[in-house]
Structure 1
Amino acid sequence: MDDRKPQPAFLAGPVGRSARSATVALVAVGAAWAARAAWQIRLAAAGAPASGPPDRGDGRHRPLTSLENSYHLVSALGDAAVLLCAAAFLAWLLRIRDNAAALSGRPLRHAWPWVYAGWVTPVANLWLPRAVVVDVHRAIAPGQRLPRCVNWWWGLWLAGSLSGAGLMYTGTTDSVIERAYTDVWQLVAADAMVVAAAVAAILVVRTLTAAQRTRTAVFVRRD
């Protein structure tokens, strides 16, 4: 949304800036996970050192190779990108959700705390974040078909998060390195789904922001 255009007084505020921030953050996550995949392929190509895996068990670790050290750095940067992306995406989602409620003139199905709680509530986090996005679309584009990018985003997010060494992986970086030496393509497949989910999420942000711009313009003309 163009932040310079007049906005109806009842809206929470322009969503364009938060949409741009979310888009940049999603690009960063996609780039970070593509870099992870590239480093995992490099590790597989180099092969496991003769000294064995980094983690020997019982709290014992061997010194890391330079390539393994660089993967630790790439992984840490990716984790930081995810945290920043989560903050930017949720800020956009909360703003566009509040505006959608104002534009529709009725409460949405899911109250605003679910914008945050939906991601961390066990079991419910498998469907609630998508449901919040669907609520927003129905409020700002009543009667219109849900954009396909929403389902692609959510399906890819779940697949990339729950498989391989995706976003929900709880193992250590050293365990990922060990898997790269023996099963790299499963890791790369998980990374590819995260990258694809980030691309689909960008489309979601752009599509819903454009729909809200169109709906808001109707109210501006009425005023």
Structure 2
Amino acid sequence: MNKQNKGKLYGVGIGPGDPDLLTLKAVKAIGKADIICVPKSKEQTSTALAIVSEFIDDNACIEYMTFPMSKDVHVRIEARKQNAQLIEKHLNEGKNIAFLTLGDPMLYSTYSYILEYLNTDFEVETIPGIYSFAAISSLLNLPLCKDNDQLSVIGSFDKNASGMLELSDTTVCMKISRYKAQLYDFLTSHPQYKFVMITEAGKEKQQVYNNIEVLKEEVPYFSTAIIKKNKN
């Protein structure tokens, strides 16, 4: 079967959570998809589906895909392979698929793992979405960088994280719930840094915090912080 008879996969970035921040291209891809692939963990329902529900065609099918947040790498890899195989099956049937990703498909996204295991015989189009930290920066009217400022993005706090924070004028901290204690310790010993964190950006539960003491409490999964050097 050639590509003309196969379906097309759209990796659709749907932004941080506000449906108004969906791009026109994302809305079009979602609206013409035969199947909407919705990633979720075993512990969570899908936030992504709620964001785009009004744009889905009435005849489209919803395919939930579980990506377990297991510490066992073999469990994670096996789930990715199985999901990629299921997508290939639908594409071979001529179905167009929209695979939803929060934020942008190329930043900390399950979609990137699908691409890793997907057969290259299929047509794929990736549609960018607005990063959560871009939405937060705009919401707060807080420029990420000016002039010759350096920007870093971290999703964990390994041995290099402290150095990145010290070298960068602005650091975006994603997946904070994984390393909130380490981040708290760093900020406590570096009082010259400004801290702002937003949880559930773009949603009704959105909250803004400026005090690092919040890191000693339970931090929601969808939390992003912006750390800036105080140059005054």
For this structure pair, what is the TM-score category when the shorter chain's length is used for normalisation?
under 0.3
> TM-score w.r.t. structure 2 length?
0.25
| Higher radius of gyration, 1 or 2 | 1
Structure (1/2) with the larger strand percentage = 2
Comparing both chains, which one has the higher relative contact order based on Cα–Cα distances under 8 Å and sequence gaps of 6 or more?
1
